[in-house]
Amino acid sequence: MWRVLLSFLLLFHCALTSAEDIVPVAASGERVVKVEPHIRDEKLYIDADIEFELSDELRNAAEKGVPLYFTAEVEVARPRWWWFDKNVVKEQQTWRVVYNALTRQWRVGTGDLSLPESTMNDALDMLRHIRGWAVAYVADLDHDLEYHGRLRLRLDTSLLARPFQVDAINSSAWSLATPWKTFSFSVSVAEPRP
């Protein structure tokens, strides 16, 4: 009886261990590598490095001229001991990546501003290396307190054309999102120089 129970537990442990080894490999495709908050010109800026690759289905759709929308979200909270953390920043920014078959040129940008790029990888590099994203004014942050933040990037399927939204619901190839990456920082008052 004990031998059967021991062998069952050993088999269960081996199955669990091998399942744990497989999951990180599959989930390591999209991730936020680094987030660096810094202060300049009385504003809080975020720099981030993100790793992701498009699936073959997404790449084919983009090469046929379907615009892809990527949204980066950042949240910053101040911990409170007596209640829930206070959210002080909740911002998002959306980039549009589109290929123009007539000019054979990729365009990437936010809002009405878009920049030309020669290849899809060059266009996606703007999303892989976010630089100088102003998310808050320093006047809105308390000095010498530690803030905790998190950031992620996702393919925003809600902005796609309706037929592609249906494809996005039915196909895992249209889902691209990084897990949240946490970071912390504090705003300190610089001592006046004599």
Tokens of 144: 């010498």
Give the residue among 67, 180, 63, 72 at the shortest CA–CA distance from 126.
72
Tens-digit pLDDT profile for residues 107-130: 999 988 899 999 999 999 999 999
Scored b (16 or more CB within 10 A) or e, 99-127 reads beeeeeebbbbeeeebeebeebeebbebb
pLDDT at 17 over 60: no
What's the predicted TM-score (pTM) here?
0.78
pLDDT at residue 13 greater than cutoff 50? no
The Cα 62–Cα 50 span in angstroms is 20
Residue 111's pLDDT is what? 85
Are 130 and 34 in contact, with CB atoms under 8 Å apart? no
pLDDT, tens digit (0-9, with 9 covering 90-100), for 133-173 = 999 999 999 988 999 999 999 999 998 887 777 766 777 77
32-61 pLDDT, tens digit each: 999 999 999 999 999 999 999 999 999 999
